[in-house]
Structures are given as C-alpha cells and as structure tokens.
Structure 1
Amino acid sequence: MVEEKLMSKKKPTFPINEKLQAYLEKYSRSIKIPVFYDDLLRFQGSVVVYDQHDEDTYWVRCYYADYERDSIDESLKKIYTILHSDGSDDSFQYLNIDAIDYCTFGNSKPFRIKIRNVLNDSFTYFYVKKADASRIYGLEFEHLLSPHRITFLVYKDTLIEEHIAGIPGDVFIQNELPECDDRAKTQIAKQFVKFNERCMIRLLGDMRSYNYVIVPTHDFDHVEYQIRAIDFDQQCFEGKLKVYRPQFFKENFTMVELVTDHLENTSIEQYIKEERSLIAKRIILSKGRYRELMRCINSDNISNKEHVHKLRKELLDFTKDVKFKRARSMGQILKTALEFVKRNYEDVNMRTKIN
C-alpha cells in the first residue's frame, strides 16, 4: 500500500511549548473556553452515522446523561459565540446544539458539533480536538501562507476549529468530476498543481483526497474551483518528501491523470511559478507575525531525529540548496524551504527592476 510505504503508522501528539503559547495569546488564538475535549468523552452511548447512501461515515452520534447534557449544550453555545462573535450569551436562546458526533477514524479523533439557528433553521459546524503543536502550526501557516483565512482557538489541551465548507475530495472525484466539462477539468487540474506545490513548500503532509475539499464558486457563466486542506495533523512530521506532495497518494491518482490529460508541461511550470510567487508575497506581507511563528517552530520538537535527517537530505537533493545541511529541526527545515522560495522570488524581482 502507498500509505504504508510513505507514512508512519501513528503520529504522536506534541505539547504546546511556552513560546507557542505566548504567540497564540498575542494573536488572540488562546482564549478561555468553558468545556474541554475530555469533557465530551464522557458520553453514555452512541449510534453510527450513515451517509445518504447508507454507508458508514466513521462518525458516531453521542448521547449524554440528562444531568450533563444541558451544561454541555450551554458550554458549546458559548464556544460558538467566542469563535464567531463577541462571546456574549445574548443569542443563546436562538441557538440549538443539534448533534455531537465523534470520529472513530484517524489520529485526532475529533468531535463535530452541529449548531443551528432556530430563527431561520440555518446550521453550521465546528470541531473540538486535542490540542497538538504540529496541528496548530499547520493551521497558522495555512492562515498566513495560503489564499484562505482560518479561525481557531486553543485553551490548555483543547483545540477548537471552524468548519471548512466544501465537497470532500474523494466524494468530488467519484461523483462530481465525471460530470464536469473540459473547461472545468482544466481549471481543476490547474488548482491541483497549485495545491500540490503549496503543500510541498510549507511541508503539509498527508493530503489524501479525504483530507481536502473542493470548493466550487459560481462566477457569471461558469464555475471556478479551489482546493482547500481540512486536516493539518501532518505539518512537518514525516521524513519523506513525497508525503508532502499530494500527487504521490493513490487516492489522488485521478487528479494526477487530470493534470496529465489537460495541461501542457509549460502550463504546469507556469502554475508552479505562480504559486511560489504568491507564497513569497505572503511571507513578505505577513512580516513580523511570520517571523514570530518561525521562531516558535525553529526551537520546537514536532518530529524525531530520523525524520529530520531524512527530509533534510531529500530536500537538499531536490533543491541543491546547501543551506538545508545546517537545519537541525523540522522548523529549521521549513524555514529554509520557505526562505528558498522567497529568495528566488526576490532575485527575479530584482533582475526585472534592473532590466
């Protein structure tokens, strides 16, 4: 199996150190919340959640004792208002916790909270997870270096994440992609090239098709597509460069075929160059915040020595940049990779100005 060759069987959870905690507090990512991940584990029973085709979704719906359910519901409403509003309880009477689901698949074992506004019957989700330093770095780098902003909160050992809307990649590939016309397929292929490059540069791993979503946006007479990561558990952990390149997972084979069938090599190179330039611009624009985050991850331990040595060598071979030889941690490897992209962008910019 591709996954067994590429990835470790189990990624450990890494604690939040003092530097990262200070960073989270400075940028309002760390706010006191009234319920913890472990509190939600005290459910009394559960039932399997099936999709519209009666397939097991790997989620179970949790049920709590009557004496606990009211306080849990109030706490989850409070979290929702902190995440999306001013944290006041003025709107509690209009909110209802429709479901608390627990995922039995993967590393993070998250809880998914479905919350509904009873006035207009609209609903959304958010997630409660165990706080993990590598996941937090993944979320924050996504916020700074991708085209998308992300809202999340951390309090002690609990992480709250907003829901990222979109069609799960595996569902889209199976059900939606065959119905797309050639123009749409070309546009999706372009976005996969850019997504693939973005993941590799910022070392976000394990982007199998169920770990990202396709986001269609209607624009006049056609539909534009974007690809967004939704799982940030594998930020800077694995030692194999291929783990950070979605094209090497068998679940993405259809997307790779799409690129091969619809894009010329010159177009692929153009889109790679575009994505690298955009990342370089975001690094420059985020200035102090980016530097502070890099200081946190440079001194943090979010992998093991074997993975650090292997990834350092593979990136040295891939880029021919001797600066990778000096990297002693995953954070330093990431900084070297990002600075490599930024330096190349600035060099091209300088030559353009001179000419």
Structure 2
Amino acid sequence: MTNTPEHDTTPAPTPAEIRRWRRYLADERSEAAVYRDLAARRSGEERAILLGLAEAESRHEQHWLALLGHHVGHPQRGTLRSRFLGFMARHFGSVFVLALMQRAESRSPYEDDDHATDAMAADEQIHEEVVRALATRGRNRMAGSFRAAVFGANDGLVSNLALVMGISASGVSNHVVLLSGISGLLAGALSMGAGEYVSVRSQRELLEASTPNAETRHKVPLLDVEANELALIYRARGMTPEQAEIKAARALDAPHQESDVAAPAPDVDEHEAVGTGLGAAASSFCFFASGAILPVLPYLFGLSGLTALVVASVIVGLALLSTGAVVALLSGGSPVRMALRQLAIGYGAAAVTYLLGMLFGTTVA
C-alpha cells in the first residue's frame, strides 16, 4: 500500500480507479454523516466517541479527494444502505444503526486496495471495535426485554403454525381449526407471560441474594484485629488464603476508609436482570400473541383447507425471516444465514406436526 498520494510521480488514474475512488469518497462522507447524526442524539462520552469516529472518516475523505484531484466531479450519493442508515440515525438513533455500522466497518475494502494507506485499513478495523463496544452498551440495556420479545414472537409463530397445521391435517372442520388456533394463541400467550414473569422475578431475587449487604462495610472498624473473619469473605470470593489475609489486613489498617467488603462478587453478571418481571411478562405475552395470530389470519378471513395452510405458511415464513434478520443485525451476524435458520426451524417443527396430524387423522378415521 502507498502511504501518501503522490500525483507528480504516479500515472493518471484509470476510469475504473476514478469510479472506485468516488464510491469510496461517497461512502466515507455517508459514514461520517451517520456518526454525526448519532452523536446529535447522544450526550457525554458516547457523543464524544461518535464525533471522533466522524472526524476519522473525514480524514479518509480527504485522502480520496487528494487522489481524485480534478477528477472528483460532482458529489455522489452514498449507497442505498448508507442512506438508509442515515435516515435511521437521524430519526431513531437506535442500537440497530450501530449494529449495522459495526458490520459495515468490518467489510472495509481498504485492506486489499493498494490506493488506501495502511493507516486507513487499520483505522477501519479499530472503528469496528469502537462501534462494537458502543453497540454492546445498547445490547446490554435491551437484553432482557429483547430476549423476551424474540422468544415470545418466535414461539408464537412456530407453535401456533404447528398447532393449526396439525389440527387441519387431521381432517377436522374449518371451525375447529380456527377455534384451536385462537385457543392456542390465548393459552400460549398466558403461559409465556406467566413463565417470563416467574423467570425474571426468580432471576432478580437470585441476584439480590448474591449481592453483599451494604451495611457490612460499616462493621469493619469494629472488628477484633486479632481474631476476625474478614479474610473469609475474600476467600469465599475466590482468593487464596494468603491473598485474603493480606487484603483483610489492609482493610483493618485503614478501617475508616471505604471498604470493598460489600462490593458485588466479580462473577455476578448484573445485566442479565435487565427489566422487571411485569415488563418481561407483558412483552412476552404481547409478542407471543402477535406471532400466534398470524397462522390464524387465513381462517379468520374465511379461507379453508389447503389454501389456508399455504397462506398461513407463507405469512409465518415471512415473519420468521424477519425475526431472524433482526436478531442477526443486532448480534452482528449474517442476516441471510440467521433468517434461513429461523425459517428452517419453524418449518421443520410445523412439518413434523402436520405429518403427525395426518397420521392421527387417518388412524381415527
């Protein structure tokens, strides 16, 4: 790679190079604008970090401007993807934009382009890690409710499609299929809501039981210096006896200083308890119901038989593809791969249930 653009000693750029450099220039400008738009919706440290990223993209922009010289031409619009990210950043500023930007930074072509500098290629890799860290903050904040939402919606889609297909395959009337689908929706949504409430409440109570009592630090000055159990606290947290004795001695040598004896244990992952039991229950109920209603829609609108099954399968298939893509965008994975995985799992479960319905329907007949 070259380290500086030298126009006096290098040949004139080819038309293909000019087109590529213009595209790079447009992309750098679009990415800088996305970071600035995100920064406008943030404050404090996150805002400063995003503005720093925008400044770095502007440096890259200057590199391509210098290479293009009088070939720069009229400013090009960024790709459709970058314009979509800009719209999202201006109007929502969500973690989805950061997740998409993380993916964009990881796909930088500069590593294999001789006209980009080594520093630019390194910048893009560092940018990916910076954006990953920012996106992780948002992922952690929404981890609890997002898990309940995805799990609820996916479970509603798959379980009710399987139920509807299994009942329909047994040869019963359209009325029975519709009634079964509505019953499955209500039963599943209530079960999911209750289960999520119990799960989250139990999780929070477990973490609360693992959180040290804050009053303990006030008792340290009152301990008997010659005989006390302070070292046992540190040993219980994983220290060796020698390390625990040293740490306890230091705490006793300065008893009036703030002690970490009431600090949480290092292996307690508190972000797992994001959200409340009622919030998780409501989210799970609503998302399960929103997923479970889709397989029932054809029957609500009067369709029946094979036509209703095909329409229900198509609707659910599109929803499964969407949920898989959303999870992929947030996790930084491949949207196509994860969407197809969701589709395969959902259709696989429905196909097994349909075959069982046909088997039992034939047996009953």
Same fold (TM over 0.5): no
Q: More strand per residue: 1 or 2?
A: 1
| TM tier relative to shorter chain | under 0.3
Largest Rg, 1 or 2: 2
Question: Could you tell me the TM-score, scaled by structure 2's length?
Answer: 0.22
